[in-house]
Structure 1
Amino acid sequence: MPVDRLLPTREAEDLLDLVRDIADKELAPRVDEHERTETYPEGLFGLLGQAGLLGLPYPEEFGGGNQPYEVYLQVLEELAAHWAAVAVAASVHSLAAFPLLSAGTSAQCQRWAEDILSGSLIGGYSLSEPQAGSDAAALTCRADKGPDGYRINGAKAWITHGGKADFYALFARTGPGSDGISCFFAPGQTDGLTFGRPEEKMGLHAIPTTAAFWDDALLAPDRLIGREGQGLKIAFSALDSGRLGIAACATGLAQAALDAAVTYAHERTAFGRKIIDHQGLGFLLADMAAAVDSARATYLDAARRRDQGRPHSRQASVAKLIATDAAMKVTTDAVQVFGGYGYTRDYPVERYMREAKIMQIFEGTNQIQRLVICRQLAR
């Protein structure tokens, strides 16, 4: 059912109408087949790029939509309500673009930004490693500078769009300690770069997640984004925005589960009444609706702070924590509403529940979000 949104302008309302139309026509008819067969939706991200949906929060100067984050996140939510894997990949694409658009030189932005924001180049984010997930400062992948550029050696893990992306925001060690990590704009096709087979995941089957292996691969000097040693600062700044993207995706997934549960509760009867008219189940649906509305409110609060240039790191962590925990609860409760049918693949709610779990983990686990919040309170 359409969500009654509070959008700042008529232009934003028209944009959301466009997104719904694209999602209804291009995502909804394809999602079940691709998720069931674990096949990549070829051409779909190019279509989203042509519609202007992959560069919404970035400047018009480079082909972006110059939309406030408040609007961009509601676009992500709408996409996620139709196809979570695609929405997450779109969020990661925006995350991968952030280092270039925020810390790149004018020449670098002129060279690559327009192709990224138009969807001609699809991006992946390559920070995590097999032994350095939540502890990003512990990464060991190295970038050794020589006369011809940087030689990259090491392994990366958990890359959304791994092996499919055209570029990666790559974080590698150029020196000791937390100040020895740098950021690179790495092409997806590079001699010495190979990828592992896609992970066999619980959900989000249509978009591959892989490891990457760098074996003496050479990156030209102009592939360095920002200064040497600036990588963690760039990464953490990007993750504030990325966490908001995941919060919006989780909210869209929860909304889809709520909608499915309410529709089923109107159709199913028990003891001579629609099951929605039984107070026990009605209260369960009410709690689900309250959780979805609360999740949306938290990410919009953080987005509005970001749009106003105000500190929002704590609010981004709160939004990610609240929205993804809500998605896990709401999708689980949706399965309960469906009863035995909810446990089968005849209905999408079992998929929603599987997809919700990872949202409590990536872009910083919810335990890490609590740590971020606690540290800010301690200050």
Structure 2
Amino acid sequence: MNLELTETQTLIRDTARKFARERVAPQARTFDREETFATELYRELASLGLMGVNISAKYGGAEAGVVAYSLAMMEMSAACASTSVTMAVTNMCAELIHTYGNDAQREKFVTRLTSGEAVAGSFALSEPHAGSDPRAMRTTAVRRGDTWVLNGSKQWITSGEYAGVMVVWAQTGGQGGKGISAFIVEGGTPGLHVGKHEDKMGLRASNTVSLTFEDCAIPADNLLGKEGDGFKLAMIALDGGRIGIASQACGVARAALDASVRYAKDRKAFGQAIGEFQGLSFMMANMATELEAAELLTLRAASLKEEGKPFTREASMAKLFASEMSNRAVDKAVQIHGGYGYIDEFPVERYFRDARVQTIYEGTSEVQRLVIARETFKLFG
């Protein structure tokens, strides 16, 4: 097995690392405290190809592949998880339209996402009563002549207030998942109303809102894929999205480990650096080992997707392990910092808050275990 990065993967990783460390990290604390949605920063990310890492150059993407995307997400997340989640959802929307849209949709919408014109993309699937069970969604879309008219509401929509391009799911008839279709909706469309900005525990610089559709008419040409394909498209997108969240978890955990090592070398107690005490050094040994394992699981899933091979099971494994690993890592980081870990003078309290949602969004840990069990029965049954 060759674990060496290609020249392109190395270039994308190093580009993301440089931007994350020089442009994002110095502002991350301020972004978090002031809940800043950094519009111009996202346009800069787009100019570097980081809003369409796995998108063809024809439509403004970097055409660098899924592994490169995962590496870029790790670097951005180590600097600011709020920035990385906006980057992740935008990449996911662009890739979904790029893969399943027609030429006109790619030209119109994918280029807006990769260029930064749209600022960000949104993935509008969840509803107040339909989170882990999207088949229960109540939003409807009815065909009226040359338009589709949407009515309903969505919940916990990342970048929903600012996104220029959204992929929205709605019931169009039929039973269960077979009655769900996907649509491309532009920000500012009449009948689309943005709800309040959610006051979240973490990812406070990431915009999260509810959306309401009231007789929201969109062109019939904005149907993504075929009518009734929506549930399938959502599941495909979520498989890829889990690689993104696993990558984010690895990045946050790496930042927590880095901060812990630096603090443990500097902080003295009982006449020596606290890192020299076995109890704390073993904590960091466990953090480092679990981080390496999570990164390998994540890059394996990314590699399988890039090669066009089945990756559902591997993506869920990576997301499950990496997100739970990240929560353990940030918990240890706060403990290593002691009282300083509980105040925002040090970044580990932000890492702690940001990591918590990783076991919830893009499919909870419980859902990941269901997926892994189902796929394992298929594999070994």
What percentage of aligned pairs have identical amino acids?
39
Separation (CA, whole Å) in 2 of partners of 1:41 and 1:219: 28
Structure 1 counterpart of 2:195, one-letter code: G
Structure 1 counterpart of 2:208, one-letter code: T
- 2:303 corresponds in structure 1 to 304
Please say if residues 258 and 285 of structure 1, whose CA atoms lie closer than 8 Å, have aligned partners that are also in contact: yes
- The DSSP-based 3-state class of the residue aligned with 1:251 is helix
Shift of 1:238: 0.6
- The DSSP-based 3-state class of the residue aligned with 2:181 is strand
- 1:49 corresponds in structure 2 to 46
Q: 2:101 aligns with which of 100, 104, 107?
A: 104
Separation (CA, whole Å) in 1 of partners of 2:374 and 2:311: 14
Please say if residues 327 and 356 of structure 1, whose CA atoms lie closer than 8 Å, have aligned partners that are also in contact: yes
Write out aligned runs for 1:293-332 (5 A): 293-332=292-331
Separation (CA, whole Å) in 2 of partners of 1:46 and 1:181: 32
Shift of 1:340: 1.0
Query: Does residue 1:179 correspond to 2:184, yes or no?
Result: no
- The DSSP-based 3-state class of the residue aligned with 2:197 is coil
Shift of 1:42: 2.8
Query: Does residue 1:76 correspond to 2:73, yes or no?
Result: yes
- The DSSP-based 3-state class of the residue aligned with 1:196 is strand
Separation (CA, whole Å) in 2 of partners of 1:18 and 1:241: 22
- 1:290 corresponds in structure 2 to 289
Separation (CA, whole Å) in 2 of partners of 1:111 and 1:198: 28
Separation (CA, whole Å) in 2 of partners of 1:167 and 1:87: 18
Shift of 1:345: 1.2
- 1:211 corresponds in structure 2 to 210
Please say if residues 82 and 204 of structure 2, whose CA atoms lie closer than 8 Å, have aligned partners that are also in contact: yes
Equivalent residues, number: 375
Please say if residues 85 and 206 of structure 2, whose CA atoms lie closer than 8 Å, have aligned partners that are also in contact: no
Write out aligned runs for 1:11-160 (5 A): 11-121=8-118, 122-160=120-158
Runs of 4+ in 1 over 6 A off after TM superposition: none
Separation (CA, whole Å) in 2 of partners of 1:124 and 1:14: 27
- The DSSP-based 3-state class of the residue aligned with 1:43 is helix
Report the aligned-residue RMSD: 1.3
Q: 1:166 aligns with which of 164, 167, 171?
A: 164
Separation (CA, whole Å) in 2 of partners of 1:15 and 1:235: 27
Shift of 1:21: 1.7
Which whole-Å deviations, capped at 9, do the CAs of 1:42-71 have from their partners, x for residues lacking one? 311101001111111111221211112111
Residue segments in structure 1 that go unaligned for 5+ positions in a row? 1-5
Please say if residues 46 and 115 of structure 2, whose CA atoms lie closer than 8 Å, have aligned partners that are also in contact: yes
Which whole-Å deviations, capped at 9, do the CAs of 1:137-171 have from their partners, x for residues lacking one? 11110001111311100010110001111011100
Please say if residues 253 and 326 of structure 2, whose CA atoms lie closer than 8 Å, have aligned partners that are also in contact: yes
Please say if residues 7 and 13 of structure 1, whose CA atoms lie closer than 8 Å, have aligned partners that are also in contact: no
Shift of 1:20: 1.8
Please say if residues 54 and 95 of structure 2, whose CA atoms lie closer than 8 Å, have aligned partners that are also in contact: no
- The DSSP-based 3-state class of the residue aligned with 1:197 is strand
Please say if residues 158 and 206 of structure 2, whose CA atoms lie closer than 8 Å, have aligned partners that are also in contact: yes
Structure 2 counterpart of 1:145, one-letter code: R
Residue segments in structure 2 that go unaligned for 5+ positions in a row? none
